[in-house]
Structure 1
Amino acid sequence: MPKDIVVTGRRLDAARDAILPSLGASDYTLDRADLQRQPGGLDRSLSQVLLQAPGVTLDSYGAIHVRNEHANLQYRLNGIIVPESISGFGSTFDPHIADSIDLLSGTLPAQYGYRTSGVINLKTRTGNFDNGGDIGIYGGSRGTIEPTASIHGSTGRLNYFASGSYLENDLGVENPTASRDAIHDHTRQYRAFGYLSDILSDSSRITAFGGTSIGYFQIPNNPGQDPAFTLNGRSSFDSAKLDQNQREITHYGVLAYQYAGDALNLQIAPFARYSQTRFTPDPLGGDLILAGVADRSRLSSLTLGVQADGSYTLSDSHTLRFGVFFQNERTRSNVTSRVFSVDDDGQQTSDVPLSITDMGGKTGQLYGVYLQDEWSLTPKLTLNYGARFDAVRAYTNEQQVSPRANLVWKAASATVFHLGYARNFTPPPQELVASPTLALFNGTTKATAITTADPVRAEREHYFDGGVQQTFAPGFKIGIDAYYKIKRNLLDEGQFGPSLVLSPFNYAKGYAWGVELSTNYTRGPLDLYANVARGQEKGTDIVSSQYFFAPDELAYIANHYIFTDHSQRWTGSGGGSVSIHDGIGTLVPAVDVLYGNGLRSDDPAGIIPNGGKLPSYITANLGIAQNFDGPGMMKGLSISFNVTNVADKTYLLRDGSGVGVGAPQYGARRGFFAGLHKSF
């Protein structure tokens, strides 16, 4: 491979990354070596990887919360937004495709919009003009088996990478009981990704990448549920034998053209994404007997758009950055509900179910444009200021101008301060919004006590953030960051039906605050880290999708601030690894720890919604990997063994109570796993 092509490819990579810097934001980065050192390595899910970042909270269905916000996360591949998927618990992206993973939070620069509690950017593997690949198998407890494979290489100026994985186990969704093994919880998940890049000249290239994620999930059962209705003369059903299932698919693709000149740097990227979720109830009518409602749902979303970002170096002191974004999304929903007729007191009047179909669709758009200036006031002081304008035209028609400013001061070679303000505009996720036809269900078991259904609105936020990072010795860093948020139309999401797809709603007002402390020590073969965060989020007065809630909940929340259901007071994570050269390669023992103070639950006194808190918990994972240096076929071979939840801790993520919370979910019990991987 000619050296000049390799150098050009790397220079274009650096120029692409420079278009979208993280100036003033909190940036937590894991490179591929960091990912491989963690217990479980690249065979972990993306959410498990991110839980080791500061201020990231674990929730059910594989969800995470950054700084106590529900969702509001944006996923990017190589800096390009990949639109959100309709998913309940399946992860779209596989860590195997990542060369590095960045989590940006705090007061984001003007180029970041729409989802602003955190931006997760995966810099994908590209081949790096080097031929090779890898193949592996990972498995263990609960019937887990996960084969993976990838290949990368180049021919002339063309560079390529492809990856595929398959996951099967008996814990696709969190167990609703404290038992070691869930009932009816099998999953099969397929993921694939491809990357192709062609260098057109010394200053330009064209890149295409895309992938697919397909997941099949059994919905786990909670035995011992009492039947409440009669179906065709049957008034009993064993809830341990329910057969509910959900399928989730997502396909996405991006075509990007990049130009990197002396002063002008530009990337234009059209993109497409199709997502679909299907939920099927128990075929024998178990849902009807137990709950009086059986929904068969099909939700789909097709998104097409374009993202363009650029930078222009005006002088040694000023670098302008600018960009535009447009997205057109078509969403469809088709829900067929089997219900019973009831009288005015809610008593069943017939044991023969009715079938009611509620269909809908919407075409909506997102528009955005931004301009900002990175101004080097002095060699040690940088001001990054600008603004963006965003508009949404879908279930709500709103727009906002959002100023942003971040000041970064390198007070000394080992001390860096940052202070920032951001005005944020967060449109509701169109793929999760549906316009309900409540009147269809009058006089049935699906009728709602509240018939108000005001539209979901965009969240508007004032965000203040400041912090300092201090290097005390080579490889030893400590950072502290504090933030405060003032929200109008605070967006939240909840599970309000049997299908594990969340639905958004708004609190009229809200606020959040928090403090994060992070430490990292890397020296020689030793790598250690620890994070702790204290924070909370509260909201008052639910002003959209009111029909999801009970009248007493709405009445209390209308005049009181309550904790949002995902607010957790304390969150902690930590871990470490050591690389030991043992004569045949490198032996890497590793550990990571997660602490959660407990998400919200019902008030024990039954007065304050989300007024209770679940018990705190701490879990630890251990891993050991032997990486071989050779000779012959041993070169590139890695053998690993991992134990998750070492102490076999039984802990609740959710207890089934709280505002917008569905069934209870327990964290996974202890598991034993082994892996064999070979690179070539």
Structure 2
Amino acid sequence: MYKKLIVTSLLLLLSTTLLLAQTKYTVSGTVKQKSSGETLIGVTVMVVEKPTIGVITNEYGFYSVSLPEGNYTLRFSYVGYKQELVPVKLESNVTVSISLVDESSLREVVISSKKDNDNLTKASMGTEVLNMKEAAKIPVVFGEKDLVKTIQLLPGVKSNGEGSNGFSVRGGATDQNLILLDEAPVYNASHLLGFFSSFNSDAIKDATIIKGNSPAQYGGRLSSVLDVKMKEGNNKDYQVSGGLGLISSRLTIEGPIQRDRSSFMISGRRTYADLFARLSSDMKDVKLYFYDLNAKANWAINSKNKLYFSGYFGKDVFSVSTLFGSDWGNATATLRWNSILNSKLFSNTSLIYSNYDFNVGFKTNTSAMNFNSHIRDLNLKQDFTWYANANNTVRMGFNIIHHTITPTKAEGTDIVNNKKSRKGLESAVYVSNSWKVSDVLNIDYGLRFSIYNVLGGGLYNIYKGNKLVDSIKLADGKFGKNYYNLEPRISASYRLNSSATIKVGYARNTQSLHLMSNSTGGSPTDAWIGNSYNIKPEIADQFSVGFSKSLNNNAFELNTEAYYKTMANQIDYRDGADINTVPDIESELLFGKGRAYGIEVLLRKKKGILTGWIGYTLSKTERQINGINSNQWYDAKQDRTHDLSIVGIYTLSERWTLSGTFIYNTGNAVTFPTGKYVLNDMVIYQYGTRNADRMPATHRLDISATYERPARKRWQGSWSFGLYNVYGRRNPFAITFKENKTNPQKIDAVQTSLFQWVPSVTYNFKF
């Protein structure tokens, strides 16, 4: 049945393009930045003589457009770059590759990375392309420009708490976000317990977040895709940049290996708060720091083939003398081959490695104990882009991921651990088409077919009502339980007039990896597990409708979207679950369904000396799981009713830029104790309805100022000054409970807050 459905879908997708294919010749090429040779993503290529025909460059800077024989003029435009007009005489297929001049390197006056009317012309929904220059101006804790912190200021994206880099999107949990760095999955995108993200902004070229309505080439998560791409490196000249801050510093070096043909980029970052802490006699044995390294190299074999290699390594270290120590981190590597097979067909082949692990150790005079876990992936991915004609762009491909998952296991002096790694094979094939039906109607549609195979090498227990009923031991290399899912996606935009568009969309996503966590924000010791005989793939169906409008000659942009999402096979712990010492965590799990719905509003000012945005989200997220809350609906732990963010960036003069952010959000849903009793001299708290209580609301104002020093020959420098939490609001990080000292019958709630005021000073340089 599945084979027939796939074949039918492929025929439907391709028949449209074949029927409409009436062109004779194709002009194609690559667009780069003139000063560095970096390829540019999302450049608009328009045909002046046919203003309704146009394309944008893909994620590798490639474009292709087919036209009848004749003379044309191509207009290349990209915000912040000088527009170029190129005459083309089409008598055969031709290649036109150009380099655009970066005007913002002379004077940065634009903060938007998008075409002025992208929100009107594209069918994609819930998609935001982030600008790294804009992110650099937004004040954050410790003054470190942060990609993930910027994402959390967008509607529909919710921070998981004060100081946390975890986020939830449209009611999804932290693990339901697919985070990619040069196509490699990043399983924990935070440093220093969530105060920094894993992404060094100096090494990042482009970042896009897609909230649920992702194209068919993405899969494996329910809620969102954060697709981050590293810089390729300057192939024209050598360049050094970096920054010195109060608790961290960073350095980036890039340049040509062979001028105009190959280049490299290396970027490193480290915190050094632990070095200052050691000046105190009480803290001399404490270690608390992180470091990370990004590296990338590319080589143009010829005009049609290019090789890339990129890698990332990050590690956090926390220890107290020799008694306690912990470290965790990510490592990724991507080997990619881009090939222009012909003027209409572009190929990208990738071999990807990803690893996340953590280790925690305790030691006494007589014993030692270690906890460790990891997830390791090997991924083969093939993607084709076919520019069928001026109105149809088809993407198709496949990917195969081999997962090796080692659950949290304890090893020690008096412990014999028999836990083994579990393995799974996650595969998918997909096809999609971006179809420009007319001047006012655009449709993106596609289909993804995903498979998850439980592989041998471990023991799988089968539970019914949390009671063990059977066990299956699979030998290495053997296939066990198999799961198959079809994932259709479609979105459409209809242009009402020159300044307004309505959009609708539907997408099904599935997820076969699950993060076992009992907190909202997550921690490094949270463990991933795959599908099993008890755990089925999570499934989400999202319906959305939106309205976009440009105002005041594109100076303002208004985007609103409403969504309704249903979720199947959701996972939660049973009441009283023992997740730290239980031999098999699956015995503590319950399964059910969920729903999330809401409305998002984004008003953005894109032009002038004052730019920024106001984002607001009104939403609800619930779960219904048999065995919890008498089988009734209850609030999910990431449920928050209101989220408001206000961002302003004001260009005071050629040298000074001021910026500020204000955020307000409803507190997370939590479960507080309703009573207590004493058993064997131990105080045991009794809890009521799951997530029936709320943390206090969070609100905060942050400000910063940036001073650009006059350039001296090749040296460019700037100072950034910031104050996090201007009015000293004590926002909740955690709430704990203890017995009242004067009245043992009462329980006191104690709120822990992290930061009241955090000043920051950073010096950035480039030469």
TM-score bucket (shorter structure):
0.7 to 0.9
Are residues 1:108 and 2:180 paired? no
Q: Which runs of 5+ in 2 are unaligned?
A: 1-29, 43-56, 64-117, 276-282, 455-459, 461-480, 518-531, 675-686, 738-749
Which of these residues, 546, 551, 570, is aligned with residue 467 of structure 1?
546
Which of these residues, 59, 80, 87, is aligned with residue 16 of structure 1?
59
Matches within 5 A, 1:333-348: 333=407, 335-336=409-410
Matches within 5 A, 1:296-375: 296-333=370-407, 335-336=409-410, 355-375=415-435
C-alpha displacement of 1:12: 8.7
Are residues 1:27 and 2:130 paired? no
Are residues 1:84 and 2:187 paired? yes
Partner of 1:192: 293
Conserved in 2, the CA contact under 8 Å of 1:86 and 1:276? no
C-alpha displacement of 1:278: 0.4
- Distance change in 2, residues 1:591/1:498 (3 Å): farther
**Could you list the per-position Cα deviations for residues 11-35 of structure 1 after superposition, in whole angstroms to 9, with x for gaps in the alignment?**
7983435899984221222212112
Conserved in 1, the CA contact under 8 Å of 2:31 and 2:40? no
C-alpha displacement of 1:129: 2.8
- Distance change in 2, residues 1:217/1:51 (3 Å): farther
C-alpha displacement of 1:65: 1.2
Partner of 1:514: 598
Which of these residues, 496, 507, 516, is aligned with residue 411 of structure 1?
496
The one-letter code matched in structure 2 to 1:248 is: W
The one-letter code matched in structure 2 to 1:627 is: E
* Secondary structure in structure 1 of the residue aligned to 2:354: strand
Partner of 1:489: 569
The one-letter code matched in structure 1 to 2:251 is: A
- Distance change in 2, residues 1:275/1:561 (3 Å): same
Conserved in 1, the CA contact under 8 Å of 2:296 and 2:310? yes
C-alpha displacement of 1:208: 0.9
- Distance change in 2, residues 1:297/1:406 (3 Å): same
* Secondary structure in structure 1 of the residue aligned to 2:245: strand
- Rounded to whole Å, the distance in 2 between the matches of 1:64 and 1:243 is 33
Conserved in 2, the CA contact under 8 Å of 1:407 and 1:420? yes
- Distance change in 2, residues 1:656/1:425 (3 Å): farther
Partner of 2:267: 163
Conserved in 2, the CA contact under 8 Å of 1:601 and 1:655? no
Which of these residues, 667, 674, 685, is aligned with residue 598 of structure 1?
667
* Secondary structure in structure 2 of the residue aligned to 1:359: coil
- Rounded to whole Å, the distance in 2 between the matches of 1:671 and 1:68 is 30
- Rounded to whole Å, the distance in 2 between the matches of 1:5 and 1:495 is 55
**Could you list the per-position Cα deviations for residues 221-270 of structure 1 after superposition, in whole angstroms to 9, with x for gaps in the alignment?**
xxxxxxxxxxxxxxxxxxxx996542112211101111234211111111
The one-letter code matched in structure 2 to 1:365 is: L
Partner of 1:117: 223
Conserved in 2, the CA contact under 8 Å of 1:6 and 1:129? no
C-alpha displacement of 1:599: 0.2
- Distance change in 2, residues 1:374/1:590 (3 Å): same
- Distance change in 2, residues 1:578/1:132 (3 Å): farther
Larger Rg: 2
Which of these residues, 145, 151, 169, is aligned with residue 50 of structure 1?
151
Which moved further from structure 2: 670-679 or 357-366?
Answer: 357-366
* Secondary structure in structure 1 of the residue aligned to 2:150: helix
- Distance change in 2, residues 1:506/1:245 (3 Å): farther
C-alpha displacement of 1:479: 0.9
The one-letter code matched in structure 2 to 1:587 is: W
- Distance change in 2, residues 1:42/1:644 (3 Å): closer
- Rounded to whole Å, the distance in 1 between the matches of 2:388 and 2:206 is 30
Partner of 2:511: 426
- Rounded to whole Å, the distance in 1 between the matches of 2:555 and 2:144 is 28
- Distance change in 2, residues 1:330/1:377 (3 Å): same
Matches within 5 A, 1:203-352: 203-217=304-318, 244-260=324-340, 261-281=342-362, 283=364, 296-333=370-407, 335-336=409-410
- Rounded to whole Å, the distance in 2 between the matches of 1:284 and 1:121 is 47
* Secondary structure in structure 1 of the residue aligned to 2:421: strand
- Distance change in 2, residues 1:468/1:640 (3 Å): same
Conserved in 1, the CA contact under 8 Å of 2:710 and 2:716? yes
The one-letter code matched in structure 1 to 2:604 is: N
Are residues 1:652 and 2:728 paired? no
Partner of 1:676: 763
- Rounded to whole Å, the distance in 2 between the matches of 1:608 and 1:622 is 40
Conserved in 2, the CA contact under 8 Å of 1:598 and 1:653? no
Partner of 1:560: 632
**Could you list the per-position Cα deviations for residues 618-659 of structure 1 after superposition, in whole angstroms to 9, with x for gaps in the alignment?**
0111111101232347x41111111111122112144259xx
- Distance change in 2, residues 1:146/1:247 (3 Å): same
Conserved in 1, the CA contact under 8 Å of 2:615 and 2:646? yes
Which moved further from structure 2: 36-45 or 514-523?
Answer: 36-45
C-alpha displacement of 1:295: 6.2
- Rounded to whole Å, the distance in 2 between the matches of 1:532 and 1:12 is 28
Conserved in 2, the CA contact under 8 Å of 1:428 and 1:491? no
- Rounded to whole Å, the distance in 2 between the matches of 1:110 and 1:569 is 30
Conserved in 1, the CA contact under 8 Å of 2:547 and 2:561? yes
- Rounded to whole Å, the distance in 2 between the matches of 1:185 and 1:51 is 31
C-alpha displacement of 1:68: 2.4
The one-letter code matched in structure 2 to 1:576 is: G
**Could you list the per-position Cα deviations for residues 267-315 of structure 1 after superposition, in whole angstroms to 9, with x for gaps in the alignment?**
1111112222101236479xx9xxxxx9631112321111122211223
Partner of 2:618: 534
* Secondary structure in structure 1 of the residue aligned to 2:389: coil
Larger relative contact order, structure 1 or 2 (CA cutoff 8 Å, min sep 6): 1
Conserved in 1, the CA contact under 8 Å of 2:216 and 2:446? yes
- Rounded to whole Å, the distance in 1 between the matches of 2:148 and 2:233 is 25
Instruction: Work out the percentage of aligned pairs sharing the same amino acid.
Output: 17
- Rounded to whole Å, the distance in 2 between the matches of 1:37 and 1:532 is 21
- Rounded to whole Å, the distance in 2 between the matches of 1:334 and 1:608 is 29
Q: Which runs of 5+ in 1 are unaligned?
A: 172-181, 220-240, 289-293, 339-352, 434-452, 543-554, 658-662
- Rounded to whole Å, the distance in 1 between the matches of 2:666 and 2:557 is 26
Which moved further from structure 2: 245-254 or 43-52?
Answer: 43-52
* Secondary structure in structure 1 of the residue aligned to 2:420: strand
Conserved in 2, the CA contact under 8 Å of 1:298 and 1:334? yes
The one-letter code matched in structure 2 to 1:82 is: P
Conserved in 2, the CA contact under 8 Å of 1:383 and 1:407? yes
Are residues 1:620 and 2:705 paired? no
C-alpha displacement of 1:9: 6.0
Conserved in 2, the CA contact under 8 Å of 1:59 and 1:653? no
The one-letter code matched in structure 1 to 2:450 is: D
**Could you list the per-position Cα deviations for residues 487-515 of structure 1 after superposition, in whole angstroms to 9, with x for gaps in the alignment?**
1112469994499xx99956311111111
TM-score between the two structures when normalised by the length of structure 1? 0.77
- Distance change in 2, residues 1:118/1:39 (3 Å): same
